[in-house]
Structures are given as C-alpha cells and as structure tokens.
Amino acid sequence: MAKLKINSDIVSEDERQFLKLWLGIDSGISYDSIETFLDSIAEDDNQIDISIHCRGGEVMEGWSIYDKLRASGKEISATIEGKCASMASILLLAAPQERRYGRPNASLLIHDPYMCYVDGHLTAEELNKLSENMQSETDKIVDCYVERTGADETTIRALMKEDKFIDMEQAKELGFISTIVAPITAIKTESTNNKTFNIKQMKEEVKVPKSFLDKILAFTKTKSIAEAEKKLIVAMELTTQEGTTLTVEREEGDPQVGDKASPDGTHSMPDGKTIVVEGGEITEIIEAATETNAETEALKAEVESLKEQLNALKTNAISDTERDILNKVKEIGIDKLKAMSSNYVPAARVQSQSALDSKEPVAKRSSVEERLEKIKNQS
C-alpha cells in the first residue's frame, strides 16, 4: 500500500518552486508532485492510503489532483488526521465514501470559493464577469459535494456560507466520512473543581488563511507581488580569510557598495579585497594591494643574486670521479692508508775517488741508468 501524506498547502508548481527558491521552503502539494508520487508506485501495488492535514489552497490545482487520483485506477482510502479545509475537502472525496475516515478530534471546513485582490481597479463589467465565474466555481464544488456525500444541496450551500469548522460527527452525518477512527489508547480526562474537560471541548474555531499570495505579502509586509520580489533577495554567503561568514543580500554578481550585509566590521576576503560593513550595509570595498615598481625591481635583484650564488656553487663543485675517490678514502680511513704505504728508503750512493778528485760534478744518474749499467757489466 502506497502512503500519500497531504500535510501542506495545495499550490501550483510555479508557487511551489517560488517557495523553494525565494524562501528555501520545499513545501506544498502540486499536480506535479502527485504525478511523481503515482509514477513511483509499483505496478502490482493497487492501494493508496491518503492522510490529510491540510488547510486547502489553489482551486484549479486541487481539481487537477482530484482528477489525477481518481484516474489512477487505484483503490483509494483517505483519513482526516487533523484538519481538512477548503480544497483539501475535495481531495478527501477522491476516495469512495466507505473508505473515508476521520480521527475523533479532526475538523472539516467547506466554504464558498473566494479570490484575493491586492491592488489595481476593476470596472462594473469586469466585476460582473468575475462574479459569474465565481458563482460557476461555487456550483461546481457544490455538485461534487452532493454527488460524493449524498447530502442535501441546500444543507451544503448553507454550511459553505457559514465558513466554519465542523467536527467528525457532523462530517459523518453529511457523508463526508463513513467512519470515525477509534483511538488506540484510552482518552485521558482531567478533573478540575469537579468539572471535566477534553480537547474537543476546548478546541477554538480557526479561520482558513487566504491564498499563497496573501501569505507572501504578509511575510514581506508588502501590498503587491512586485514589492515582495524586491524584498525577497537571495542572500549569498561569503567566507572570509579568517573563516567567518559574510552574508550579502545579492542574487548574483560581486558585492557592491550599498548592498545589505552582515555582520558589521572589516572583512578580509581570500582574493585580497577588504569589505567594510557598517549599519548592516557595505560602505567600502578596498581592492587588493598591487606591488610597486620598486618592490618588483628589488625582487628581480634578489633573483639575480641567487643565480650568481648558484653558479659559484656549481664552479666549486667536484666531479663524480673525485667524489667517488673521496668516498673510498673515507670508507678505508686515513690511518689504514698510511699503514699500507711503502717504508722502503734507498741506500746512500758512494762516489768513486776519481770523481771526488774531479772538480767537475758527477752527473746524477737515475735508478734506471744504474740498473742498465749493472746488467752491462755482468754480461
């Protein structure tokens, strides 16, 4: 069984998107949302259980939803959970009478349709035409009530003109529901000064709010939708260098002097800009500081100096072969290298007497020459 909860106003899809875009409220029941719901139901699921706690809404949208539900071919049941007012009462009638229920303390309201008029003017002819259209719409609603409840037309019209809530007992008598759902838990009453009260007795009469447009105008404290649009500016949230949030009332583009913003103070932004907010308004935007020519030249000189130091280091650098030799010496050790060196000391040479007597110095021969001479004499 698919569950359908009608717990918010009946609105057009445009109004539902307006609520979501401008107020950040994803709410409202529209034809599109009901169509999406029906498309999501499994083909083998033939039952829809509707729970209603709704104050009504757009008449044309309500009719389209009513027709869509009845055309679904599903077995529909509906229960009034809290209040079922205005056009929501038509959605209740999408279920057959034997499968319409109400909670003990629920309420039902039916009334003549009305049109909200905020600004402008109308001629007598326009008023007459408007009156005819409104009467036609009233007759259409009355016909539906009579057909789906079996109530007397005169009774229905009289109740609609009263424009007040009725309890489930009266709703059952009129045929809007067939059964009052008994509570699962026992009803708890409280006695004060020997008088017993319950929720039903203390319930106050509640008037149905006007259309969605009235709610928007009331929210923005304006008289026309044009004024409301000017007030409902989407706020952008910017993150400062310190990680705090700066909120600017602007739909798109960069913040400008004169934009509403909060909180007050001087805010440094990641791009180097500084935004000053005073009294909830941007009073100054300071662009990011740029480097002067002197600073640029100083940086260039520093770069050149670093290049020279790098070239000097390259000049004094040793080759790979030299580095390998030094590493090998380090590995063997200086002391061990000294121990491995030769201790041979050649014997002193003795000159002949004739050479000593000669005034001319005797030419010093190399060891190679001496060796050759010795070999020659032995042969």
Residue-range domains of the chain with CATH: 2-212 (3.90.226.10), 233-286 (no CATH), 293-343+351-378 (no CATH)
The predicted pLDDT at position 240 comes to 87
Q: Are 355 and 362 in contact (CB under 8 A)?
A: yes
Q: What is the mean pLDDT of the chain?
A: 77
Q: What is the pLDDT of residues 66-102, one digit of tens each?
A: 999 999 999 999 999 999 999 999 999 999 999 999 9
pLDDT higher than 70, residue 169 = yes
The predicted pLDDT at position 290 comes to 59
The predicted pLDDT at position 357 comes to 53
Q: What is the pLDDT of residues 197-255, one digit of tens each?
A: 333 333 333 343 445 556 565 555 565 555 655 555 556 778 888 888 888 887 667 88
pLDDT higher than 70, residue 188 = no
Rounded Cα distance between 300 and 302, Å, is: 5
**pTM (2 decimals)?**
0.51
The predicted pLDDT at position 205 comes to 37
Rounded Cα distance between 168 and 105, Å, is: 7
Q: What is the pLDDT of residues 42-72, one digit of tens each?
A: 989 999 999 999 999 999 999 999 999 999 9
Return the bridge partners of 276, or none.
266, 284
Rounded Cα distance between 60 and 141, Å, is: 11
The predicted pLDDT at position 194 comes to 42
Smallest Cα–Cα separation from 220: which of 210, 208, 229? Answer: 229
Of all residues in the chain, the percent with pLDDT exceeding 90 is 37
Q: What is the pLDDT of residues 4-45, one digit of tens each?
A: 999 989 988 888 887 777 776 767 899 999 999 999 999 899
The predicted pLDDT at position 199 comes to 32
The predicted pLDDT at position 208 comes to 38
Q: Are 254 and 238 in contact (CB under 8 A)?
A: no
Give the best-scoring range by mean pLDDT among 58-67, 186-195, 280-289, 337-346. Answer: 58-67
Q: Are 211 and 203 in contact (CB under 8 A)?
A: no
The predicted pLDDT at position 288 comes to 78
Residues annotated as part of the active site: 86, 111
The one-letter amino acid at 333: G
Q: What is the pLDDT of residues 356-375, one digit of tens each?
A: 455 555 555 556 556 556 65
Smallest Cα–Cα separation from 58: which of 8, 5, 118, 109? Answer: 8
Task: Tell me the backbone φ, ψ of residue 251, rounded to 5 degrees.
Answer: -75, -40
The predicted pLDDT at position 241 comes to 84
The predicted pLDDT at position 117 comes to 60
- Position 303 confidence tier, pLDDT thresholds 50, 70, 90: confident
Residue 163: strand, helix, or coil: coil
Give the best-scoring range by mean pLDDT among 167-171, 214-218, 296-300. Answer: 167-171
